[in-house]
Structure formats: structure tokens, C-alpha cells
Amino acid sequence: MIPWLTHPSQFPLPDHALNEPNGLIAAGGELNPLWLLAAYRRGIFPWYMPGEPILWWNPDPRMVLFPHELHVGRSLAKVMRNRPYTVRFDTVFPEVMQACAEPRTDAIGTWISSEIIDGYCALHREGYAHSIETWIDGELAGGLYGVALGGVFYGESMFARRPDASKIAFAHLVLWLQGNGFSLIDCQMQTEHLARFGGREIPRHEFCDRLAQLVAQPRVPALWHHEWVNLGG
């Protein structure tokens, strides 16, 4: 059994999460900044399909990427050198979320509902949620969004309308995080895509121990003003 939440102070301890399905820890609550920040500080994130109650997760093991362990493969590095593109942060956050919610050929439906979009857009307005965008030929070609707390960036979802566009955005994000005091990227669940960038699984207890220290790092929430223009070779 998992608890039904009526207040953000009620999020359970990590070892209360179920083994099957892996990491399900609570249900109920809301998707406003108060609830979302309380969850992320505990390593908990929402994931549920439209029509379901809000479900909260803290899986074991946890997929993470340490920014200093970033690996950019030879083919992507070549693309990043030779293709004209621009990477911008936080210029079209709602559009990035809408793009992440678009139907995909490799998935049935989408978990990014209007409720999710409204909640994270509110978090963006408060300076905690961020979009990283790849622009090609003046169009939004790919990107991702996530949440920043202290020294942690929590990756949520990405999309690509052009080949490699989301990979370019992610690589630039990690490089930026390296230079701006971030020590951990939460990737939530294991994927081959993130493993190719250097992501790896660690036990939940290690993730939560690191998290407790990193989210306490002082950092003023704000929009991220960053632009990188690559003219190509």
C-alpha cells in the first residue's frame, strides 16, 4: 500500500517505496510549485498517465550523470563542430514542454498532460524549471526541460524535430552545468541514450545521501540567460 497525500510534508521516506512497480511511493497531492519542490528535495518525481491520480516515484537504482563524466561520442562531436545551430536557455519554456508532449512514433500517448504543463510552467516562472533549446534555421529543432535545485539538475523530458537536436541541447546543458557549480544530473530511469553520454545507475540510498547535501547549496532561483551560436564548419 502507498499513502494518499493531502499535504507536501507527507512525502514518505525513500525506503517506503514499492519494489514493484519499482519506486512508486505515493499518490494524490497537487502539481503546484510547493508540492513539486517538496518532492524534488526528497528525490521524488511525478509520473502518471492522463486520467490517473497523480503518482509519485523514487526508483532504486537511480540513473544519474555526473557532469564531469560527460562523454560526447565522435559522431555527435563532429555534428556539434560542423552544423550551424544556436543553443538558448529559457526563451520558450512552454513551447518546449508542448513539444515534449507531442505524440511519438516509439510511444503510446503521452504522460505530459495539461496539468503537468501548467505545474512546470508555474515552476519556471518562479525560476526553478528551465528549458534548453536547439534552434536550426530559425526554428525550434529540439531540446529538453528540467528542474534545478541547489547543485542538482533534474532532467524531465526531451524532444527532437531534427536529427541530433536534443543531443546537442543536452551536451551543451551538461557543459554549462560543469562550469556553474552543479555536481549531479538526475536522469531518473536507465536508458541507453543517457548511458552513451556517461550516465550510470547508483543505489537509491547513495542518490538520496548526495541529494541531501546538494539541494542545500544556496542558489537564487532565476531564469538562465545563456546563448551559444555555432556557425558550422
Same-domain check for residues 153 and 42: no
Q: What is the pLDDT of residues 74-101, one digit of tens each?
A: 999 999 999 999 999 999 999 999 999 9
Domain stop point among 59, 75, 91? 59
Same-domain check for residues 118 and 134: yes
Q: Which among 133, 134, 149, 125 is positioned nearest to 218, based on CA atoms?
A: 149
Same-domain check for residues 97 and 28: no
Q: How many CA atoms lie less than 13 Å away from 209 in the CB half-sphere?
A: 5
**Residue, of 109 and 168, whose pLDDT is higher:** 168
- The bridge status of strand 152-160 relative to strand 85-89 is unpaired
**Residue 110 pLDDT greater than 90, yes or no:** no
Instruction: Give residue 200's pLDDT.
Output: 97
Same-domain check for residues 120 and 215: yes
Same-domain check for residues 87 and 149: yes
Answer for the pair 89, 2: CB distance below 8 angstroms, yes or no. Answer: no
Residue 13's Cβ-count burial label (10 Å; 0-12, 13-18, 19+) is: exposed
Q: What is the pLDDT of residues 190-231, one digit of tens each?
A: 888 899 999 999 999 999 999 999 999 999 999 999 999 999
* 38 vs 19: CA distance, rounded Å: 22
The x, y and z cell numbers of residue 119, run together, are 505545474
**Domain carrying residue 8:** 4-59
Same-domain check for residues 41 and 127: no
Number of domains in the chain: 2
Q: Which residues contact 1 (CB under 8 A, 6 or more apart)?
A: none
Same-domain check for residues 121 and 34: no
**Whole-prediction pTM value?**
0.96
Instruction: Give residue 53's pLDDT.
Output: 96
Average pLDDT over residues 23-41: 98
Same-domain check for residues 176 and 102: yes
The C-alpha angle 49, 22, 18, rounded to 5 degrees, equals 105
* 186 vs 175: CA distance, rounded Å: 15
Same-domain check for residues 122 and 181: yes
Average pLDDT over residues 52-66: 97
Q: What is the pLDDT of residues 124-170, one digit of tens each?
A: 999 999 999 999 999 999 999 999 999 999 999 999 999 999 999 99
Same-domain check for residues 173 and 76: yes
Same-domain check for residues 50 and 156: no
Coil, strand or helix: which one is 88? strand
CATH of the domain at 26: 3.30.70.3550
R_g of the chain computed on alpha carbons? 17
Instruction: Give residue 103's pLDDT.
Output: 81
Instruction: Give residue 98's pLDDT.
Output: 97
* 187 vs 19: CA distance, rounded Å: 19
DSSP E strand boundaries for the chain: 4-5, 24-28, 45-46, 55-57, 62-65, 85-89, 129-136, 139-149, 152-160, 184-188, 200-202, 227-230
